[in-house]
Chain A
Amino acid sequence: MGYITYPRTSGSKKDIKRAQAILVLIEQLLLSFDPNNLSLLLTLITRIGWANLPPALRHKLLQLLYYDLFRRINARKVEDAKAHRNTVNMMTKALVDVAFTISNKIPSNEAELSLHERLTASGHWAVSLGQKVNPVHYSQDLLIFDNGIHVILNAGMSRGKYGTDRQKEIRTAARLYDTDTLQTLKVAHKKGMLVTLNLLADYIIKGNTDMGYDLEVIPKNLMEYCSVRYEVLKLIKPFNSYNQSAHANNLSQQKIHGGKNISFAFYLTTLIRESALSFWVEDSQTRGTECRFLTIQLIIIARKIITQRLEPTLLAWSEEIESALIEFFTTVRVKRVADRSPRLYCQKEAEVLAACIKQELLQHPLCSNESMPILKSCPIAMPNIAIKLPNLESSENEYIEFL
């Protein structure tokens, strides 16, 4: 016996009903402001399944919310400035949440887009990234929405998604951005249109003894942001800043090093800024050590470049390093967590760490004064092999007691 199938409707009935209710509330709010209507509207916004709405309805709703209603509420003349600012801020948070929820639904083939590009790719609004005039490593980033909303992006262990100490963030921003950007940022803050968002808030896990991030689920495109990279790089223990390691190496009495310090820039000292993070790898070239494994990987990349007579771009070269690092973390690097047996990194964790280091590599020339397009042939990606041979003479030495 056959059965009849019906064409699927685009969107669930419940969500369409909610959308209609929101439309009514927007109309009322545009006519006259009522705090109860607004709080009802904000509740509905959090509950609605945006993906279930027909595209035209979704677009209309979002345009009304983002532009018309947001502008109207923002432009209200009220005596209690503080309360007004709180209202605007509440709505700002709700709208930022909606924007992020919708951007997460962007198809996976566009997963390589950075966050502000993904937000814009949804087609409802335009989002840009604040351009830094004075880049400092691992500092905050700034998203600027075309309706005036400003979002300072940072990352940390605090569970709250939205930070509360915006003054501190603004002080930091003052050192990073040009005066125009800073001016709009301050205006946004004054009006309640500024929020600080912890990009890693959703990926915090709490262990028995300490807190950490769930590396397996952090999206790779978040690695574009300095503050996220800083938090992720810190997970590779032991890590330190380049400064500290240089200091350790200068200790003349030190006979044995705990390990060789591999910079994230992978031997590219000319590009290493003093504030760059680095992590330690064991030993040099003895069998079974981490450094030997990395040396082999680097030589394989170098040999490929030499034998195929390639002129690698910085991007192509950093992609080679990325795959080598995925292999390093899944094959060699032991992850030690308190109270658990040591293990190697799993594929997803390794991918996130390697993506993070790759971004670091790509950022180095961007942060330095040299302009180096990542798609142009890059001299630093060429292996430096023709090194001067050491001059070794035969000699005799008395034994020293090993203490």
Chain B
Amino acid sequence: MSNDFDYITVNKVVIQGGGIICLQSYENDDMCVMPPAAIKKVTLYNKYAHKTTLLITNVTLADITVSLLGTIWAVDMMGHLYSSKPKLNGSNLYEKLETQAYALKWSYQRATEQTPVCIIGEDSDLWIATFEGMLIHYDGESFTSFTGIKRPIRFKKVNGDYFLMGYACQLMQYKNKQWHAMTFDLSIASDTPINDVTYANGQLLAVSNLGLILRQQPDNVFAITMRTPNIPWFSCDTLNGTVYLAGGSKGAYKLPKPESNNVSEVALIKKGYFVAVKVLDRKVVFLQASTTSANFVCYLPSEQRQWILVST
């Protein structure tokens, strides 16, 4: 049945217990305003991967997150919040919404009339950012709205803090129970997208698909440390002090460690089309652009078989 779709993409991976929770979208070249989505769990064994479908929806799921208690939370682009536990009230914003739960006791409810883009947090301390610029907090009972950033790209937990980043040079940090906007050096154009943030060697590092790598300076301002005009950086993450980067059609890269002699260049580690990178359970997972079958790529730096393709 999944052959009915031209593209099946893994859009996000999150760790939960011994498995990897994947968010997938199903698309066709034609007539598909609203790509359906699936949440799956993939367990990696020595020689094979076992995959279980958890939930399917006919509206696009914008993002998923997993709380410390293991609850999977998701938001769809029509404004519904989903939980893998039966705690939400089932209220509906769109009469044609269809869901199919294969495992776990899923529930959903209406959360906002804006367009949710990303989600992060814990069961009673959950944050949703909307495309229109609102930050919605869910305390397990009710929703409260705050001003966020317009056109956000992603939430990420880095070095213990939540970050929200987006287009037009926007980055916020959640510290001391408040969201703070972070500042950028004046040489950085105000329309520069901030695609991802990571923490390496005692410093915050941000990347942009305009081909910029930025570092937070001692005065907390982000400044450009490297320009790579031909490589669009979609994402970055850190394993053992090494920063891995997804460079779109230019491949997978890593940053040289500070002690290396050649710190002004990035090193290509694999050719491919990679639009996200995430370190999970000592594995570096690279997500590919529009794949026809839902695969992701796993890089295991210390193993003999370093690069494997995992089917989901």
Contacts and interface: CB of A to CB of B under 8 A. Distances in A.
A67 interface: no
16 contacts: A249-B6, A259-B290, A260-B7, A261-B29, A286-B11, A286-B234, A288-B234, A332-B167, A334-B209, A344-B191, A388-B58, A392-B102, A399-B47, A399-B309, A402-B298, A402-B309
A282 interface: yes
Contact of B305 (A336, A392, A401): A401
Contact of B154 (A254, A287, A332, A385): A287
A133 interface: no
Contacts of A306: 94
A394 B154 contact: no
A258 interface: yes
A373 to B, nearest CB: 22
B268 interface: no
Interface in A125-169: none
Nearest to B61: A285
B227 interface: yes
Contact of A387 (B9, B58, B298): B58
Nearest to A251: B292
Interface stretch (A78-86, A103-111, A115-123, A294-302): A294-302
Given A285-B9, A289-B275, A402-B297, A256 B118 contact: no
A285 B38 CA distance: 12
A392 B48 contact: no
A299 B291 contact: no
A399 B232 contact: no
A302 B210 CA distance: 30
Contacts of A289: 234, 275, 289
A283 B48 contact: no
Contact of B34 (A254, A293, A387, A396): A387
Given A284-B27, A288-B234, 13 more contacts: A259-B289, A284-B7, A284-B9, A287-B12, A288-B154, A288-B193, A331-B193, A390-B2, A391-B1, A395-B50, A399-B310, A400-B309, A401-B309
Given A303-B115, A402-B308, A286 B9 contact: yes
Given A259-B290, A384-B31, A296 B77 contact: yes
A383 interface: yes
Contact of A260 (B4, B27, B117, B191): B27
B53 A399 contact: no
Contact of A396 (B50, B272, B273, B295): B50
Name, among B5, B29, B272, B273, the residue most crowded by chain A CB atoms within 10 Å (CB to CB): B29
B189 interface: yes
Contacts of A389: 36, 56-58, 98, 100
Nearest to B150: A331
A370 interface: no
A287 B163 CA distance: 14
Contacts of B59: 385
Contact of B229 (A287, A342, A383, A391): A342
A8 interface: no
Given A331-B191, A399-B310, A400-B309, A296 B117 contact: yes
B133 interface: no
Contacts of B191: 330-331, 343-344
Interface string B16-57: 000000000111011111111110100000011111110011
B211 A283 contact: no
B75 interface: no
Contacts of B198: none
Contacts of A303: 78, 94, 115
A260 B9 CA distance: 11
Contacts of A283: 9, 273, 275, 289-290
Contact of B48 (A255, A334, A394, A397): A397
Interface in B277-307: 287-293, 295, 297-298, 305, 307
B9 A390 contact: no
A183 B291 CA distance: 54
Nearest to B45: A396
Given A260-B27, A334-B209, A287 B60 contact: no
A298 B290 CA distance: 19
B210 A267 contact: no
A296 B51 contact: no
B270 interface: yes
Given A344-B191, A397-B48, A399-B308, A334 B98 contact: no
A289 B35 CA distance: 15
Contacts of A293: 151
Contacts of A282: 248-249, 275, 289
B288 A287 contact: no
